[in-house]
Amino acid sequence: MREYIIMTDSCADLTAAEVSELGIVVAPLSYVMDDTTYVNYPDHSELEPEEFFRRVGAGAACSTSAVSVGSFADMMRPILAEGKDILYIAFSSALSTTYQSACIAADDLREEFPDARMEVIDSLSASRGQGLLVHYAVWEKNKGKTLDEVAAFTRELIPHNCHWFTVADLNQLKRGGRISAATALVGTMLNIKPVLHVSDEGKLESVSKSRGIKAALTELVNQMEQTGKAPLADQTVLICHAHCQDNVDFISKLMRERFGVTDIRAEYIGPVIGSHTGLGTLGLFFIGEHR
């Protein structure tokens, strides 16, 4: 069996420690904040998350860009030159052109490396939901599974990869054009917090509204109870958050009490989604019967 490397991009919001533990390669996206371009490396070497969200909270404008075809080719070529194949798990094609760029780079490299395998998977996932897929793919690879077996497993898991979010700052959604100024004003006055999820098509969609952040967090856990694959106590659950450790603690305690979940891994949300959702955003990721 030919050796292969699992790749993803920085939208998976995996930390440098997780990247090292999993033995994967991460293609970093870039973003522009206050006219300065930063590369979103897993170790946050160019801008720490705390500072990023401080600036977002202060109203800094932020835009993001996908990984270019050339950058993908530059990262893939040395791996292929070593005689290794590549399984790439990409950020949702409904939210970015990253997947398409990876496909084009792989097609270009097939002429240079005709014997190599490059499998590009559209995760239809975002943030640590994408990261959860990568975790499962690596766990399967570590069982001795082939590239084809892991690719098939990952594709079968995608429709069961659940993403649930809530957003604390409606004004940030307004600045990003996601909701109207009137909706943001009324929602802020009434302390309304939206509950969102990533659909089967890989899009971020609003599902319901809750009065107050704790009610919204509780609704995320309610959704886990309704759709999560049993036994929930045995699952690895990932969380992303935008500088709101109190909310992480609250929802983690709730899952432990209600389901007996013990493997909960929480980290910062990255700049691609964080720039649109702002401070106080929290995402919950688990495997369900359906999304």
Look at the domain 160-287 and name its fold: Hypothetical Protein Tm841; Chain: A;domain 3 (3.30.1180)
Domain with CATH 3.40.50.10170 in the chain: 4-158
pTM of the model: 0.93
DSSP 202-229: S-EEEEEEEESHHHHHHHHHHHHHHHBP
Task: Return the pLDDT at 180.
Answer: 54
Burial grade of 189 (CB within 10 A; 0-12, 13-18, 19 or more): exposed
Question: Which residue is associated with the tokens 């970015």?
Answer: 96
CATH class of the domain comprising 4-158: alpha beta
Domain with CATH 3.30.1180.10 in the chain: 160-287
Across 64-78, 137-151, 177-191, 200-214, which has the greatest mean pLDDT?
Answer: 137-151
Task: Return the pLDDT at 273.
Answer: 84
pLDDT band at 80 (very low <50, low <70, confident <90, very high): very high
Q: Which of 8-17, 178-187, 232-241, 255-264 has the lowest mean pLDDT?
A: 178-187
Q: Three-class SS of residue 85?
A: strand
Task: Return the pLDDT at 213.
Answer: 94
Does residue 239 register a pLDDT over 50?
Answer: yes
Selection from 3, 8, 167 nearest residue 81 by Cα: 3
Q: What is the amino acid identity at position 71?
A: S
Distances (CA, A) of 242 to 12, 92, 113, 222, 223: 15, 20, 41, 21, 21
pLDDT band at 90 (very low <50, low <70, confident <90, very high): very high
Does residue 42 register a pLDDT over 70?
Answer: yes
pLDDT band at 86 (very low <50, low <70, confident <90, very high): very high
